[in-house]
Amino acid sequence: MQKPIVEVDTTIAADPKTIWAAMTRKHTAMFAGADVDTDWKVGHPITFSGRWKGKAFKDHGEIQSLKEGRELSFTHWSEMDGTPDKPENYHIVRYVLEPHGHKTMVKLSQTNMGNAKVDASTRQEYEKNWRMMLDGLKDAVEKKH
């Protein structure tokens, strides 16, 4: 497996079960403001739809791994990237939840499936977007407590 091109993390003042519930509800906190549609089974489709920067989107992929309360990974393709819907244009998004006392470290990584080179500017944009996603998850969970 290729090395992730982006790895970000945050610590959330909640247990993994609470964070997992926020990630997997219909109006998911995993992708800020998006609705998620899936049956949460490995090998099955997952779609995210909503608005991003004022534009409607519908991203999709397939669940790769699921260990309730601990790990979730899925392939992901977004038409907003402007690339054809082909396997080499997908990436794998992986969330790992690690409990630390009364808090949980949430790690998110993106690994590209194709061999396309990612320049520093693009990598920085990906990192900024994923950090924003984790910040949204943190806000959604901690405001409920």
Domain harbouring 81, CATH code: 3.30.530.20
Percent helix, strand and coil across the chain, each to the nearest 5: 30, 45, 30
Q: Please give the pLDDT value at position 61.
A: 97
Strand partners, 51: 56
Query: Considering its fold, how many domains does the chain have in total?
Result: 1
- 123 found inside a domain: yes
Beta-carbon count within 10 A of 40 CB? 12
Region 71-82: what's the mean pLDDT?
91
Q: Whole-prediction pTM value?
A: 0.92
For residue 1, tell me if it sits in a domain.
no
Give the lowest-confidence range in 6-15, 40-49, 72-81. 72-81
Distance CA 17, CA 47 (A): 22
Confidence band of 132 (pLDDT split at 50, 70, 90):
very high
Question: Which stretch of 54-68, 84-98, 107-121 has the lowest confidence by average pLDDT?
Answer: 107-121
Tell me the residue range of the domain where 122 lies: 6-144
Q: Would you say 80 and 49 are in contact if contact means Cβ atoms under 8 Å apart? A: no
Is the pLDDT confidence value at 145 over 70?
no
